[in-house]
């Protein structure tokens, strides 16, 4: 077994969800989950099959985001994994719905941070060991940081 680190290739501020699922209809169920939860969200999904033709299945409503999902699914190359890249929304808008999709086994991350996927590679294939999401803490927030956090949440409409 070898360990591989694959960086996620995306624009700096783009959010995505990386998860593990099973079954060929996962791609359709993830698509339906997104459009039924946030119809205005722009997104692209890629799901890597782990048997049969072992294809990367694609869906979404934005060709550029579908392409970002496709590229990252191919780079990671781990069976039964899915990527959802999005604009006009945040993972928090769809995360509970995605986690409730019957085929979804696990969500590894939901972030806009720079991310690395840690993989194990064997003669059979690749599996995700975990992710590195963002950077280490640089300290502890002070009063002005608390104020800035609260203002940010209100500016983007998550708090009143």
pTM above 0.75, yes or no: yes
Residue span of the structural domain in which 108 resides: 2-155
CATH number for 44: 3.40.1520.10
Give the model's pLDDT for residue 156. Answer: 82
Structure token pair of residue 57: 């299945």
What is the tally of structural domains in the chain? 1
Give the model's pLDDT for residue 157. Answer: 83
- 61 occurs within a structural domain: yes
Residues of the chain below pLDDT 50: none
Give the model's pLDDT for residue 159. Answer: 80
Task: Give CA–CA dist 107/92, Å, rounded.
Answer: 12
Task: Give CA–CA dist 73/82, Å, rounded.
Answer: 7
- 160 occurs within a structural domain: no
Which candidate, 41, 51, 52, places its Cα nearest to that of 15? 41
Residue 51 DSSP one-character state? S
């Amino acid at each position: 077994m070898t360990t591989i680190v694959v960086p996620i290739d995306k624009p700096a501020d783009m959010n995505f969800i990386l998860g593990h699922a099973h079954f060929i209809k996962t791609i359709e169920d993830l698509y339906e989950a997104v459009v039924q939860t946030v119809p205005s969200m722009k997104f692209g999904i890629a799901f890597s099959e782990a048997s049969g033709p072992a294809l990367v299945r694609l869906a979404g409503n934005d060709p550029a985001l579908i392409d970002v999902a496709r590229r990252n699914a191919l780079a990671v190359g781990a069976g039964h994994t899915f990527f959802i890249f999005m604009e006009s929304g945040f993972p928090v808008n769809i995360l509970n719905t995605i986690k409730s999709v019957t085929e979804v086994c696990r969500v590894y991350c939901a972030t806009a941070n720079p991310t690395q996927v840690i993989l194990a590679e064997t003669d059979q294939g690749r599996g995700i060991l975990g992710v590195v999401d963002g950077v280490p803490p640089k300290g502890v927030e002070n009063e002005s940081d608390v104020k800035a956090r609260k203002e940010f949440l209100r500016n983007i409409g998550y708090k009143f």
